[in-house]
Every structure is written in structure tokens, then in C-alpha cells.
Structure 1
């Protein structure tokens, strides 16, 4: 409620939003410039109060006031909320209105204030002018006994629920296992069923509610421990630098690099050489390499992570790709310069694959493959089981000539999703018994890959074989043309006892016989 000096008012009063440029001097003698979001009370000329916050000094009651105009209003909390803080004010009125007051108390308050004035100072009473807009009705909330038990952990007697709500001034209609509840108009804090249950708990007594420790049956799930940052760090540590290129590429170059994948054409390309979405990250990397080689940068090791796009089903997939050319090491006095080769790039990829703990259970393998952009004799596809992971190889000679690159140039591209997969590590005890190593050299066709030989050894040996390592490849004197000699170290160890030489000799015999039968290999003497 606010009291105005009636003689200082110009005509009647109205409640409206402030207009641009209006200002008011408040009762605390502070002048504020009003914004258009402020609700005010005004007479026919100027603002006389900020609604729900503070009245104006010019219309305030003084010692000489003879006629008083009383105003009592209800303002919606969301309209008044924050208004006082915008002007650096904090008043009792704003505190109350922001939290909500009953819209049914205004007439009672006006009658009470009038009665007090008549008792204290006397005078004559004017008529009450009441203006009411449509107010939102008090909500009717359904309260369920099942919900009470779920939230409080125990059921409350029907009579107790009705008694508590009635004593709180709420109108209730009991139904079967539920109640229809209408809170009093001044309880703006009660809007949903949970609010009613909170009131029941408060009156019933929090100390009287049962306390139960939460119980749950949790199962550990593997998390993707390999992050993109970890993958990038491995390549940076191996002397790569990250590149970022456009996803829009030259259609002609893309057709030469990846003719088998249908690309997505742009409706409004920036330029003709950026008219398609890339189907491989190699396009941007090759252009960066060409730019560097034309500026006498002959040792280049770059990688990029990003999306590739396919027209089929509008697919997009996260990939990591790299390009390598030049020498194995930067120029230095400690080692002579050696050109990069296929197996250097393969070692970099194996370092990436080793990050994924999924590789502990599933072996990654490199198999000969073909690709339109790669050399037919220096291309390998990468698989984990039967899942295609990526590809690497030397750039095709015709493409090297077309782009005027300095050979050799090696490319690789891998899917990121499989690299980030992981499994929860499992403990395995280390044997306390010594190991036994035996080296064998086998002669076989040069067309047979070392991976085939190692797989054959692992399949034919017993569980005492814990590792086999290829440490030498030889072709020359003593080995027939079209043949090669592979030297392989076999390491044996048992977890419960010492192995004997006779046991190891038996396994070696099985391995040699299997190699001879399946791969046509002969033991070199």
C-alpha cells in the first residue's frame, strides 16, 4: 500500500509501462531515469511511483498534507522481479512483491488502513475505486498417496494428510487414494504436487521420516580412454605437424584421387575449384605438400583430422590422414641422410594403433591392396579382424607426374572411431620362470609375406610360445632366385614351471612341419 498527497496529483492515476525519456525523483531523493521495461504508477502528467518498489517524492505525504489518497495493488511477481535491482534499490515493497502477495488482500488492507486513520486523525472517507484485470486462478493440484510414499519413503495416514493441508489453509477434496488441492492465494510457492509433499514433510517432521541408504547395482562400462588429443600427440611426437584444410575441394583432383566414391556437389560453390565436399582428406594435404615443395621445403610430415563426406545416404565420417615425404631424419651430423620409405610410415601407423587397448584382443593386420591414387605395389589396407580401418601407400607415379611432386610421397588415412575404442584392462600375472629363445631361419617364396609366416607359427605352436619376432630378411648368395630367407626368434615361457629343452624342441618341430605344409617353407641350414 502507498499513500499519496491528493492535492499533488494531476487528475486520476493509472498503471502503465514507462515511456522513453521519463524520470522520477523517489522518496529517498534519488532521481532515476526509467526504462521502457519498468511498470509505473502515473497521474495524467508524470510518473508518481515505480510499481511495487517505491513512490515519488513529489506526491509523498508531508506534515502539511490534509488529503490522502491510498493505493493498494497486486503486481505479478514476474513483472516486478528484478526491477528494484536494475536501479540499485532494495525496499520492503519489492521484497514482498517479488515473492508474491495475495491478490485478495487489497480491499481488506484498504479498509483497515482507513479505519486506523479515522481512529487516529479523524476525517471523512471517500469511495473506494477498484480496478481489476483478469487474474490467473489458483491452480488445482492433484496429490497422490503413491507419490507421497515414493518421495518420503513412507505412507502418511489419510486423516493426517487432510489435517495438515487444511491447517495450512488449503481447500481439499478427498478422492480415492488421492486429493484435489487448491492452495490459498498467497502461497505462490505451491504450484505442483512435489510442493504439497514438501509441506507434508515439513509439518510431519523431517526427523520422523525414515532414512535409507541408497542402493544400486552398477556395472562398470568401458570408456573411450583414447582421445583425439592423444592421437594427435603421438603424431606430433613422431615429428608430424598438423594441417587444417578446406572441406570444399576441386572436383577434377578429387576424381583422380577417389573416383570410386560418389561426392556431394555444392549448389553455390565459392569457386569452381571448391565445388565439392571432400571424400578424402588427401586432397588438401597434397595441395599443402605441393605449396611447400615449391618453396624448397623437401622434408614434409603433415597430418589432419576432419570429416569426409559421401553422397550415398549423405554420410560423414571422422578421419585422420597424413602425408610424408623427404628424409627420415632432419639434417644432422650424427646420421647420414636416408630417404623415407613405406615401412617408416607403417611404423607411425602402428604407433597410432597401439594406443587403442582393443588391439590387445584383436590383431591389426596389413594386407596388400589397390587404390586409384596409390602405387599398385606399395599399398596396404589395414584391418582389425574383418573391419576395414584404413589404407596407406605411396602416391601413384602418374599422379606424382601430374601434380609435379617430388617423389617419393606416402599417404595414409584411417577411421578415427575404431582408434578411440577401448576395453577395460584386465590383470594378467607375469611368470616368475625364465624364458627360452630359439631362432630359426626358413626359406620360402618371396611372394609369401612375413605376416603369413608369423600367423602360421602362432597357430601351430602351443601356449608356451609367448612371442615371435622377425629380425632378418635375406636374399642373395645361398638363396635361390625368387626365394627369401626369414630369420625368426621364438620365445617360450611357462607360467607354472620351468620348460625343458625337449619340450621346446617338440614345439619347434611342429612349427617347422606346419610351415612346410602350409607355406612350402624349408628350414635353412
Structure 2
């Protein structure tokens, strides 16, 4: 919402400065977005007179002008067609900044002739779009007068323009008078009496109007005949131009002016274009009309239109039509003032993509009581500026009464805000804002003014009192502290979800967020349940709830590969759905790696990804959840979408998997058009048992052996299908007190008949066993004893034998 300072002074009697006005607007919730002061831009400009001209010797269209300014005579080169001796205009002196383009004016040579200064056009000073010639001021203009003063004295707007942000709940401030009312209530001045008087009629019009839709409960109008339409007076054009509105003709400019002055949209129809009764009704299929924006619109049955017996004249409350609009030849008009339901106007505007000032106001809520007062203001201005005589009132329907009476306890002001005001202070603020207050012993009866459709309850009244009193006066009170709060704020699921994001990002993976819906064929490939199909899907490709996070990550990987990304990792934390029951969803962490574990560089070739790369990601997150890797079993029964020979399941109990990892099945990658291999893992945070609230016994946080560790290597010949972790687990359990770590460092199958050949169906697994004594340095005998235990434990658990 834009308005000029002098426009505000039409409604507000105040001595406040521009800065004080802006500060008060911000304080009462009408945020000032920008202040444009044209006068500040005109520093360095003054009135000057061209006292002589001569033709430029090297340019037919240029003249050399001798100019008299407040600083004396100077010569400049001018190309304006109206440059002539005796013309008084605006001179830009050296050092002045041209508002239109920001150019700093300096001394220059134009076609060999020195030029000092420039005579300016209206466009160059951003006062209008007219750039055909330099400004011509009346002969009464005084040479040397500052440009801002001279232009203001001769009909040009150089007044500061204030732009404020209007929240949707304040339609009353979409008019200058509403803003003035709020400023007066805030103590910045006195709201002037309304100068609009009830219109007097000179004749009865033959035009009839009607309402035939609940979207327009009241439609009023008056006919003005014998008028002369034309160019608006300077003051009216200047005000509209200052706020960015293009003057069209006097009749249209008057309706635009009242829209910004009172927040009351109006429309004028050329009576000669009307046929029969003018009706506000619902649209009919097949109707169309050309609006004032020169666009043709097909009408919907849900639209509220204004129509006569012949055709549609326009969308009610949104935009009128070209055919019935007022032109410079119009001599008789019907002035329309109506009230429309906000939701109907909003729907029509959205449906047809029309953004107009009328729609902007009606969909937020125009004051119903301005139906008649706005009409009176319009005919008053029309007769003053265009002449003519006014008909009696033509009205269909009744002005709706939307004012609410609210039971209000003034003590709520203090209870909600902490502001300690007397009842008299509270009542005074409400009265200044236009509320009708009836003070009673228990609760007041407060009637909201017709221009405040946003007031519905006592909390709204408290808000009004608070913003006028001043939000900066609300005391700052700390919230009470409660030392008895012992419960965790986050649930275990929330804690583990946040931890997963930190850990996976720390592992070099990038978080992805994918759809919770996937196509049914994809869902079935990942074990989807038939009952998870949506009844009303967004599209056929988003028809089922996802049973796994992997489809979304795989599709994201495919898009990245298609764009040339070669090595990357993604992860996602989200819900998966196993069935349609309330408990059939689970939080899962999934990760995907594509490309190489180590890219090619000067130190060697690229190293391809393998399942151990992704297994490390799963183990890293499980370790963050407190799960020890040595306590886990590795099983081979991964789901069908994993590669059967390159995948595994991590668990403590085979019935409860904690994670799955491995390569995706090649056939699945082919369906997704992604060249493999692609390594993925899925971790199930909520499958991990929660730690006990009270541990049964305390354990040291860190235990380090003070003695030298001892390492011994063993190689065992075992069955080829034996899982290596079974051997490792057996070796670790041989002496839990001394053995701190067991690692596999070699796996060998051998060549039949060759050196070191193994029996058919056998393989060799070599392990390193670390002994960490806590009490004393181990002797050779103790070391040998532990080695024997390891050999016996492995042979017993695996059926293998030590290789000699």
C-alpha cells in the first residue's frame, strides 16, 4: 500500500515529521517497507530559463542554448524539440545525479561544443513517462528556485511516498483514511472529519439493477448525466502517478483514487452501452467477455458476474469489461458500488489468474458500510471535476451487517500481556480505534467497527490495545524454571534419528529426501504389501507407500549418474511401511555408494567399491548406537533385491536383524537403468534394545593394558563354505580375559596339485590374535597355553585343523 505524505494530511491533522510517522507505523504493526522522497533526488536541480538558442554546427537536431540560472549564465547542448528562447524549465547542474539512470552529470563536449548542465524532461526526473521534450514551467516560475519547490508549486508530485506492508487481516488499512485512523489512535494527530456528504439527486433514472446471487448481497448505483470526461486535473494525476498508477481519464481516475483513499473499489459503466436490467448473478457456461486488461475470459458457473440483458459486463469485484468502460467521449455513466463475498472473489481471481486492486481489497474484506458512502464520494468528485447531474439512489439488496459484539473482560489485557492499564486507558484506546464500548460490572460489551472483519474474540481486542499502547512497552518476563523436569525432551527414536544424520554425514555421505510414495511395480520388487496402495495417488508413479528407502535412493543415484557424477554416496533417514496397520511403519536409515572406493590419482589406480565399504558404514552407525561389532553375527539371508553372493545381515539374534548390507542385484539395477555395482545398506535403529536405565554394575569407561601386547598368527584349514566370522568368534572365546582382538588377514584356496595345495572343498583362513595382559607380562609358557586354547577352540567349533 502506497500513499503520499500530503494525501495522509487530507485525513490526519498532525505536525509529526516523516520520521515520526514512519516510526509510529512500524510500532502499531503497519511495517514501512520503503520511503521514496522525490525531493531528495532533486538536489542540484533548479529553475532556469533559456535566453537564447543557436543551431549546433555539426548536428541538425541539436541546439546550443544559453541558460540563465541562479548561478549565472552557462551554455549547454540540448536535443529537445521544444527547446527555445524564453522557456523556463528544470536545469541539472554539474554534479547532479539524474534520477532515471543514476548518471552523475559533468562537463562534456558534444560534437565539439562544450556543454555544462542539462535541461531535463519529466521522464529523466521520474515524474512521468513523458520524455519527448524538456519540462515547461509557467512564466511565473522564479529562476534559481529549487526544483522540488517549483515542481510542487506547479502541479507535480514531489511529496514523499510511503509504502507499507499490509497483512491479510488488515483490509481497513488498504485505504489512506484507515491508516490515518490508526495513527490518530496511536496519538500522532487528530482524524479529520469526513468531508463526504450524502449525494442529492436531480432526476430519476430509468436504469434498473438487480442481485441474483448470494455472492453479492447488495448492489447500489447512481447515474450521472451531462458530464464531460477528459484528462484528470494535475493534483489527481500526480497522486496516482506517485503511487504507481497510470492516469487514464477523469472518471476512471476517480474510481482508482477512491479505491486507495477509502479502500472502496468502484466501477463506472457507459450508460449508452447498457441494455435492460443490470444484474449481479452467477455466470453461465459458454459466456465470455473481454476485460479491461484486453484479455478474453470464459466464464465459469461459479463466477459472480455483472451483466445486462444482452451480455456480461465484467467479473463482479474483480475487473470490468472493455465494451462498457468509460471513455473520453462518455457523457452519462452508471456508478456501481457493491459488496461481494471475499471467498467468491478470491476463487474467481485465482480461477482466471486475474490480479487487480479491486480483487486485492474485496477478497480481504471491504467495509460493507462504504457501499453508500463510497458511492456518495464518487458522484461528488464526478460532479466537481466533470460536471453533470446526479440521479436518485438505485439499490438492490441490503448492506450486510457483519459487526460482532464481543464479551470482553479488561483484566485479560494484563493476564495475556503483562501490561498494567486502567479500565479507562483500555476503553479510550478501543474508542479511538472505532470500537463501540459498553462498560458493565462483569464483562464489557464491545462492538467491532464495520471496517474490522478480523476481530472475532477477546484476544483480538487485547491485541488491539497492546499494539496501540506499544509492543515495546510490554514487559519482558522470563519463563519460570522447573528444576523437577527429569524426563528426556526427545524420544529415543528422535535421538537415534538425529544421531544417524550426524554419523552418516560424517562418513562422507550426502543426505537425500525422497518421496514416501513409489510406483506399484517398484514397491513389489522391494517386498511391498498390496494393501499399501493409495486410494487417490498423486500420479501412477507415486501409487504405493514405500516398503524400503532404497528405491528412492536408487532413483536419485540414477539421476546423478545421468548428469555425469561418477563417485558419490547418499543416505536417507525416513519411514518405511510394512502393512496398512497403525503400527506398520518403521524408521530406517539407508545408505548408497556408487563409483569407486578410491578414485584414480597419481598414487595408483582407482579402487572399486566392494561390500566391505558399505558394511563399514553400517558398522559405524551401529557402533554409534553402542553395538559392538564383535558381538554381531553375519548371516547370508539378505532379501531378494540384494546380490546373493555379495550381501549379508548383521544381527545379535537371527530373528531380529539390525542391519543389511551388500550389492544390489544386477537384474534390479538393469530395471532402474543404472550401471553397477551399487552398494547399499539398511540399518534399523529401533531394533536395537534401549540401554538399561540403571546398569546392574558400573564398568570403567576406558581400560588400557600397561603391559606389552603379544600377537600370534594362526592358519587353519577349514571347509570352503565355512563363514570366517565363525572361526573368529571361536578364537576370541578361547580366553576372554587375555584375547583383546582377532582379525582375519588372509584367505587362501590353493591350486590342486600345486605348492601348498589344499584338499578339495577346503580353504585356508589366517588370523592374528592379540593378547593384552592386565596383571603382568606374559611368559612363553602362558603364551603357548593360550595358543593351545585357540587351536582347540577353533578345531572344535569349525572342524578344521591347524596348518603346519
What TM-score range do you get, normalising by the shorter chain? 0.5 to 0.7
When structure 1 is superposed on structure 2, of 474-483 and 313-322 the one drifting more is: 474-483
- 1:90-489 aligned at under 5 Å gives the runs 227-258=496-527, 261-314=529-582, 315-359=584-628, 363-386=631-654, 387-418=656-687, 421=690, 426-427=699-700, 428-476=702-750, 477-480=755-758, 481-489=760-768
Structure 1 unmatched ranges of 5 or more: 1-19, 41-49, 57-70, 90-213
Question: Does the 8 A contact of 1:356 with 1:420 survive in 2?
Answer: no
1:74 to 438, 441, 446: 441
SS at match of 2:745: strand
1:82 offset after TM fit, Å? Answer: 6.8
Change (3 A) 1:408 1:31: same
SS at match of 2:733: helix
SS at match of 2:469: coil
Q: Determine the C-alpha separation between the residues in 2 that align with 1:432 and 1:222.
A: 41
SS at match of 2:596: coil
Q: Determine the C-alpha separation between the residues in 1 that align with 2:602 and 2:563.
A: 24
1:358 offset after TM fit, Å? Answer: 4.2
SS at match of 1:448: coil
1:492 to 771, 781, 786: 771
Q: Determine the C-alpha separation between the residues in 2 that align with 1:506 and 1:222.
A: 51
Question: Does the 8 A contact of 1:249 with 1:275 survive in 2?
Answer: yes
Q: Determine the C-alpha separation between the residues in 2 that align with 1:507 and 1:320.
A: 41
1:344 offset after TM fit, Å? Answer: 1.4
Q: Determine the C-alpha separation between the residues in 1 that align with 2:514 and 2:668.
A: 20
1:348 offset after TM fit, Å? Answer: 1.8
Change (3 A) 1:270 1:509: same
1:327 offset after TM fit, Å? Answer: 1.2
Change (3 A) 1:378 1:72: closer
SS at match of 2:790: helix
Change (3 A) 1:430 1:226: farther
Question: Does the 8 A contact of 2:496 with 2:685 survive in 1?
Answer: no
Question: Does the 8 A contact of 1:263 with 1:310 survive in 2?
Answer: no
Question: Does the 8 A contact of 1:226 with 1:421 survive in 2?
Answer: no
Q: Determine the C-alpha separation between the residues in 2 that align with 1:400 and 1:271.
A: 23
The count of residues paired between Structure 1 and Structure 2 equals 357
When structure 1 is superposed on structure 2, of 229-238 and 401-410 the one drifting more is: 229-238
SS at match of 2:523: helix
- Is residue 775 of structure 2 the alignment partner of residue 507 of structure 1? no
Change (3 A) 1:285 1:83: closer
1:263 offset after TM fit, Å? Answer: 4.8
Name the residue aligned to 1:52. 424
CA deviation string 1:427-447 (max 9, x = no partner): 154332332222211111121
Name the residue aligned to 2:469. 88
Change (3 A) 1:469 1:220: farther
When structure 1 is superposed on structure 2, of 265-274 and 475-484 the one drifting more is: 475-484
1:290 offset after TM fit, Å? Answer: 2.1
TM-score by length of structure 2 reads 0.39
Change (3 A) 1:456 1:30: same
Question: Does the 8 A contact of 1:307 with 1:317 survive in 2?
Answer: yes
- Is residue 800 of structure 2 the alignment partner of residue 521 of structure 1? yes
Q: Determine the C-alpha separation between the residues in 1 that align with 2:606 and 2:188.
A: 86
SS at match of 2:670: helix
Q: Determine the C-alpha separation between the residues in 2 that align with 1:286 and 1:331.
A: 24
1:296 offset after TM fit, Å? Answer: 3.0
Q: Determine the C-alpha separation between the residues in 2 that align with 1:279 and 1:357.
A: 27
TM-score by length of structure 1 reads 0.58
